[in-house]
Amino acid sequence: MIFPQVIDRLIAVYGWRGAYLALALLVALTALPIAALLFRDRPEKYGLAPDAGLPALAARVTKEPSFTREEALRTGVFWLLCAVGFLTNAIGTALLLNHFAIMQVANVPRREALQVLVLYAAVHVASTLGTSPPGPP
């Protein structure tokens, strides 16, 4: 929620190219090392059980259908899921990339436009955490 102001300040001081380089450096120095340390692709390699050793939720496991690439490409569900994933990200990205221009057309001052981004981030965090599946009982 603080990043909109930080990014705005970086752009004001270093321009958008400098701001992007600073953000890339920030990710490279923080998120990538943490991800590399915490990433686990197979829990068995580390003496752990899949799903934290919890029992299966269903009494009987049913086999899911398996599709080849060609079979999947011929299903409507595949294309619907692709379209939903693409359009959701495309619309969200377009709105964020043009946020200040949209706010300027609506005569919203830049400072208030930044506050809208903070509110957007807060709602995004709340909705993500609020709609996550429940943890173990």
pLDDT tops 80 at residue 134: no
**Residue extents of the structural domains in the chain:** 1-40, 72-137
Beta-carbon neighbour count of residue 20 at 10 Å?
14
Q: Which distant-in-sequence residues (6+ apart) come within 8 Å of 10 by Cβ?
A: 18, 19, 22, 23
Report how far residue 105's alpha carbon sits from residue 118's, in angstroms, rounded to the nearest whole number: 20
- pLDDT tens track for 74-121: 999 999 999 999 998 898 888 888 888 899 999 999 889 888 888 888
Beta-carbon neighbour count of residue 31 at 10 Å?
10
103 and 112 in contact (C-beta within 8 Å)?
Answer: yes
- Name which of 99, 98, 94, 102 is nearest 117 in CA terms: 99
pLDDT score, position 47: 76
**Across the chain, what does the average pLDDT equal?**
85
pTM of the model: 0.46
Average pLDDT over residues 16-26: 92
